Structure 1
Amino acid sequence: MADKQINKVCVIGAGTMGAGIAAQVANAGVPVLLLDIVPKDGDNRNAVAEGAVAKMLKTQPAPFMGKRAAKLVETGNIEDHLDKVAECDWVVEAIIERLDIKQDLYAKLEKVRKEGTAVSSNTSTIPLAQLTDGRSDAFKRDFLVTHFFNPPRYMRLIEIVAGPHSDAGTVDMVRDFVDRRLGKTPVDAEDSPGFIANRIGTFWLQQAVNAAVDQGLTVEEADEIGGRPMGVPKTGVFGLIDLVGLDLMPYLQQSLTSTLPKDDPYQKIARSEPVIEKLIKEGYTGRKGKGGFYRLNRVGDKKEKQAVDFKSGEFRAAARPGIVRGPAAKGDLKALISADGKVGDYAWAVLGPTLSYAASIVPEATATILGVDEAMRLGYNWKFGPFEMIDKIGAAHLRERLAADGIAVPAILEKVGDGTFYREQDGKRQYFGTDGEYHDVQRAEGVLLLSDIKRDSEPVLKNGSAALWDIGDGVLCLEFTGKMNALDNEVMKLIGKAVPLVQKEYKALVVYNEGSNFSAGANLGLALFALNIAAWSEVEKLVKGGQDAYKALKYAPFPVVGAPSGMALGGGCEILLHCDSVQAHAESYIGLVECGVGLIPGWGGCSEMLDRWRQNKRQPRGPMPAVSKVFEIISTATVAKSAAEAKELGFLRPADEVTMNRDRLLFDAKQKALAMVDGYTAPEKPEFNLPGPSGAAALQLAVDSFHKQGKATSHDVTVSKELAWILTGGDTDVTETVTEDQMLKLERAAFMRLTKDPKSQARVEHMLETGKPLRN
Structure 2
Amino acid sequence: MKRTIRKIAVLGSGVMGSRIACHFANIGVQVLLLDIVPKELNEEESRKNLSLESKEVRDRVVNEALQQTLKSKPSPIFENSFAERISTGNFEDDLPKIKDYDWVIEVVVEKLEIKQSLFEKVEQHRKPGTLITSNTSGIPMNLMCNGRSEDFQACFAGTHFFNPPRYLRLLEIIPGPSTKPEIVDFLMDYGDRFLGKETVLCKDTPAFIANRIGVYAIISGIHTIEQMGLGVSEVDKLTGTIIGRAKSATFRTLDVVGLDTTVNVANNLYKVLEHDESREKFRLPKSVQVLHEHGWYGDKSGKGFFHMIRHKDGRKELKEIDFKTFEYKDAEKPKFKALEGSKGIEDIKERIRFLVNFDDKAGEFYRATFYDLFRYCSFRIPEIADELYRIDQAVCAGFGWEYGPFENWDILGVKETVENMEKAGEKPAQWVYEMLEAGHHSFYKVQKGKKHYYDVESKSYKEIPGLEDFILLDTLKAANKKLWGNAGASVYDLGDEVIGLEFHTKMNSLGAEVIEGINTGISMAEKSHKGLVIGNEGANFSAGANLAMLYMYAGDQEFDEINLMIAQFQNTMMRARFSSVPVVVAPHNMALGGGCELSLHADAIQAHAELYMGLVEVGVGLIPAGGGTKEMTRRFANSIIQGDVELNRLQDTFMNIATAKVSTSAEEARGLGYLEKKDAVTLNRKRQLAEAKEKVIGLYDAGYTQPTQQTNIRVLGKTALALFEAGISGMRYGAYISEHDAKIARKLAWVMSGGDLSSPTEVSEQYLLDLEREAFLSLTGEKKTLERIHSILFKGKPLRN
> By the TM > 0.5 criterion, same fold?
yes
8 Å CA contact retained: 1:423, 1:430: yes
1:623-653 Cα offsets, whole Å, 9 max, x none, are 4233211111000000011110011100001
Aligned-partner Cα distance in 1 for 2:640–2:150: 54
Give the counterpart of 2:301 among 289, 306, 315. 289
Structure 1 residue 583 and structure 2 residue 606: aligned? Answer: yes
Give the counterpart of 1:343 among 358, 362, 373. 362
Aligned-partner Cα distance in 1 for 2:222–2:713: 63
- The aligned residue for residue 574 of structure 2 is 551
Amino acid at match of 1:150: N
- Cα 1:764/1:328, change in 2 over 3 Å: closer
8 Å CA contact retained: 1:592, 1:634: yes
1:73-99 Cα offsets, whole Å, 9 max, x none, are 111111111111112111111111101
- The aligned residue for residue 319 of structure 1 is 332
Aligned-partner Cα distance in 2 for 1:748–1:622: 29
- The aligned residue for residue 429 of structure 1 is 451
Structure 1 residue 64 and structure 2 residue 69: aligned? Answer: no
- Cα 1:596/1:207, change in 2 over 3 Å: same
Aligned-partner Cα distance in 2 for 1:620–1:202: 60
8 Å CA contact retained: 1:222, 1:346: no
- The aligned residue for residue 656 of structure 1 is 679
Gaps of 5+ in 2: 42-53
Task: State the 1:500 CA deviation.
Answer: 4.2
Task: State the 1:544 CA deviation.
Answer: 0.5
Task: State the 1:735 CA deviation.
Answer: 3.8
Aligned-partner Cα distance in 2 for 1:532–1:129: 69
Name the TM-score, length of structure 2 as normaliser. 0.92
Aligned-partner Cα distance in 1 for 2:235–2:579: 54
Give the counterpart of 2:410 among 391, 404, 410. 391
Task: State the 1:509 CA deviation.
Answer: 2.0
8 Å CA contact retained: 1:225, 1:324: no
- Cα 1:727/1:617, change in 2 over 3 Å: closer
Q: Map residues 659-738 of structure 1 onto 2, 5 A cutoff.
A: 659-677=682-700, 678-684=702-708, 685-738=710-763
Aligned-partner Cα distance in 2 for 1:733–1:432: 73
- The aligned residue for residue 474 of structure 1 is 497
8 Å CA contact retained: 1:613, 1:619: no
Structure 1 residue 23 and structure 2 residue 48: aligned? Answer: no
8 Å CA contact retained: 1:690, 1:733: no
Aligned-partner Cα distance in 1 for 2:363–2:697: 53
- Cα 1:473/1:735, change in 2 over 3 Å: same
Give the counterpart of 1:574 among 597, 620, 634. 597
Give the counterpart of 2:488 among 465, 473, 476. 465
Structure 1 residue 89 and structure 2 residue 102: aligned? Answer: yes
Give the counterpart of 1:162 among 156, 175, 190. 175
- Cα 1:632/1:142, change in 2 over 3 Å: same
% identical equivalent positions = 37
- Cα 1:503/1:222, change in 2 over 3 Å: closer
Aligned-partner Cα distance in 2 for 1:207–1:619: 67
8 Å CA contact retained: 2:34, 2:89: yes
Task: State the 1:228 CA deviation.
Answer: 4.1
Q: Map residues 509-520 of structure 1 onto 2, 5 A cutoff.
A: 509-520=532-543
Task: State the 1:206 CA deviation.
Answer: 0.6
- The aligned residue for residue 476 of structure 2 is 453
Give the counterpart of 1:761 among 786, 792, 798. 786
- The aligned residue for residue 152 of structure 2 is 139
8 Å CA contact retained: 2:258, 2:297: yes
Name the TM-score, length of structure 1 as normaliser. 0.95
Task: State the 1:19 CA deviation.
Answer: 1.0
8 Å CA contact retained: 1:223, 1:238: yes
Give the counterpart of 1:242 among 247, 251, 255. 255
Aligned-partner Cα distance in 2 for 1:422–1:554: 40
1:189-223 Cα offsets, whole Å, 9 max, x none, are 11110111100111111112112223322222233
- The aligned residue for residue 107 of structure 1 is 120
1:704-748 Cα offsets, whole Å, 9 max, x none, are 222232321221111101001111111213343222111111000
8 Å CA contact retained: 1:395, 1:416: no
Structure 1 residue 412 and structure 2 residue 431: aligned? Answer: yes
Aligned residues: 774
Task: State the 1:38 CA deviation.
Answer: 1.3
SS state of the match for residue 390, structure 1?
helix
- Cα 1:228/1:503, change in 2 over 3 Å: closer
- Cα 1:481/1:415, change in 2 over 3 Å: same
Aligned-partner Cα distance in 1 for 2:326–2:536: 47
Aligned-partner Cα distance in 1 for 2:160–2:739: 52
Give the counterpart of 1:49 among 55, 62, 65. 62
Aligned-partner Cα distance in 2 for 1:220–1:375: 27
Give the counterpart of 2:281 among 262, 266, 269. 269
Aligned-residue RMSD, C-alpha: 2.2
Aligned-partner Cα distance in 2 for 1:573–1:173: 36
Structure 1 residue 199 and structure 2 residue 224: aligned? Answer: no
SS state of the match for residue 247, structure 1?
helix
- The aligned residue for residue 48 of structure 2 is none
- Cα 1:67/1:308, change in 2 over 3 Å: same
1:40-59 Cα offsets, whole Å, 9 max, x none, are 23442122222222223221
Aligned-partner Cα distance in 1 for 2:715–2:67: 41
Amino acid at match of 1:264: D
1:736-766 Cα offsets, whole Å, 9 max, x none, are 3222111111000000000110111111111
8 Å CA contact retained: 2:270, 2:283: no
Task: State the 1:525 CA deviation.
Answer: 1.4
SS state of the match for residue 482, structure 2?
coil
